[in-house]
Chains A and B, each alone.
Chain A
Amino acid sequence: MTRKQKRLAIIAGGMSFILCAVLLVLFAFGQSVAYFYMPSDLTKTTVGPGTRIRLGGLVEQGSIVRGNGSTVSFKVTDGQQSVPVSYTGILPDLFREGQGVVTEGVFNSAHAFVADTVLAKHDEKYMPKEVADRLKKDGVWQPEGTATK
């Protein structure tokens, strides 16, 4: 091989690696990306059983029911609709009624939402951003003023 050919081969090798990476990324996006919904979205769109989604909203007042063992069921609401969710495991410390929450999981064949992850984040001031945005958009929020002193 001449030096020029060698160089071309190297560049082609590098390019093919990058191409592999791009294809992999596209494939992974198709596979493992979860869309975010609020309960009232689910009346408009249908989510097939087995599709991973994120469901966000507020934990409905008085909806937490502890089953036997470590299974807990509760309802996620956005003020208009609510969706029952069941979850097995340990709930985060800041999981409370009336608080914002994001759950991730799938609808089972009986059309009940089974979550495998429940996030109610770190800080007591925290409201999951997706939830906050939507509540704002739906006008439940007072958009006035921002800074807190």
Chain B
Amino acid sequence: MVLWILFAFLTAGVAAILIAPMMKASRRLEDDREGEVAVYRDQLRELERDRQSGLIGADEAENARAEIGRRLLSAADAASKSGGDAATFRRHGLPAAFVVLCLPVVGLCLYLTLGSPGLPAQPLEARLANPGSNMALLVAKAERHLAENPNDGQGWDLLAPIYFRLQRYGDSELAYRNALRFLGETPARLAGLGETLVAASDGLVTEDARGLFERAIALDQGNMRARFYVGLGLEQAGRTADALRAFEALAKDSPPGAAWEQLVAQHIAKNGGTPKAAPLGNPTAEDVAAAQNMGQGDRQAMIRGMVESLSAKLADDPRNIEGWLRLVRSYKVLGEDEKARDALKAGLKAFPGPQPEAQRLLALAREIGVSLEGMTQ
């Protein structure tokens, strides 16, 4: 409401300013030849100066003086003859009406189509002071705090898993590393960093990550997460026997009914063993929930979990090229070509036209063989 009142005041003010000159008592149009006369006089003076300093020859100066003199005479003549227009009183009803109509009509028509009158200004400081439950703002606030106090290990420690959940793996890695630097190594941090590295490389347990997990295990034999990933690494390296041993040991050391029981069982089965807690039979509701929380079994299922949340996230915020690349690749890995194509299309829609993001998407599509059929007619 206040906004509209201000708009009205502004419009009225501008209208008043523009109408005011037309409301004054009419006056005679002043003669504009007098100015010209003065200019010619000045030119004559300058000519004299130029002559004295030798910038113009004496004869030429004489000619120039004659030229200017002729113009001066005709101007002075015209000035005395015309004497300006007679003072006539004119009405300015029409122009005034034009002003009064034009301002609000143009103003409102354009503003109503373009403006967002309902939106308040949102300076970042004020929003950070009152972040509510906005995850992005909370993170931004924490980031600010850390930018000022980069040695606050506690802050990094808190932020790292949040980044991981937001799939900002690069930031997450940095946060974990800082936390490790300031607060020292704990199994949880080491394993967290390892998990981040794994996620960043699309589920592959890299050499670096394996080192971290092993250090975590060295600190705490009971860190099941680290042990699981070490097993996964062995499995990916094709060392089936070692992987099987690792998973079996993990299954043995796990408390019964652990959330990851099923997951481990699947890997045991995959590596040629016979899981004790067979993933058969009727899993309890608890098991299902736990398994879902854990992000399901083998690499495929793990990706599927990620993919779903990613897909949802991208629907909210489509301008995330890394996200789209990951999504297309993931669907392809899952063998869901149809979905991969849909994701590709949606991604291209988010980055239309000549943008390198679109190009990256297309390059990926070509690389992994997602066909573009049905896209280009």
Contact = CB atoms under 8 A, between A and B. Distances in A.
A–B proximity contact (CB within 8 A):
yes
Interface of A: 58, 61, 79, 98-100, 124-127, 129, 132, 135-136, 139-146, 148
B355 interface: yes
B366 interface: yes
Nearest to A98: B363
A80 B356 CA distance: 18
Contact of B354 (A61, A79, A99, A136): A136
Interface string B287-328: 000000000000000000000000000000000000000000
10 contacts: A79-B366, A100-B359, A136-B354, A141-B358, A142-B348, A142-B375, A142-B376, A144-B348, A148-B351, A148-B353
A3 B355 CA distance: 64
A100 B348 CA distance: 17
A127 B359 contact: yes
A62 to B, nearest CB: 10
Contacts of B376: 139-140, 142
B183 interface: no
Contact of B355 (A79, A144, A148): A148
B353 A124 contact: no
A145 B356 contact: no
Given A79-B366, A139-B376, A98 B359 contact: yes
Given A58-B363, A142-B348, A99 B353 contact: no
Interface in B320-377: 348-349, 351-356, 358-360, 362-363, 366-367, 372, 375-376
Given A125-B356, A142-B349, A144-B352, 5 more contacts: A58-B363, A127-B355, A127-B356, A142-B348, A143-B353
A124 B348 contact: no
Interface residues of B, number: 18
A129 B360 CA distance: 16
Contacts of A139: 376
Contact of A98 (B348, B349, B355, B360): B360
Given A61-B367, A145-B349, A140 B354 contact: no
B363 A146 contact: no
A144 B345 CA distance: 11
For the residues of A in contact with B, the DSSP-based class is loop
Contacts of A145: 349, 352-353
A141 B363 contact: no
B362 A140 contact: yes
A94 to B, nearest CB: 9
Given A79-B366, A148-B353, A142 B359 contact: no
A129 B376 CA distance: 21
Contacts of B351: 148
Given A139-B376, A142-B375, A124 B356 contact: yes
Contacts of A99: 356, 359
Contacts of B352: 142, 144-146, 148
Nearest to B319: A148
Nearest to A139: B376
Nearest to A129: B354
B349 A127 contact: no
Contacts of A79: 366
Contact of A126 (B356, B358, B360): B356
Nearest to A60: B363
A127 B374 CA distance: 25
A94 B131 CA distance: 36
Interface in B25-80: none
A100 B367 CA distance: 17
Contacts of B375: 142
Contacts of B367: 61
Nearest to A97: B363
A140 B352 CA distance: 12
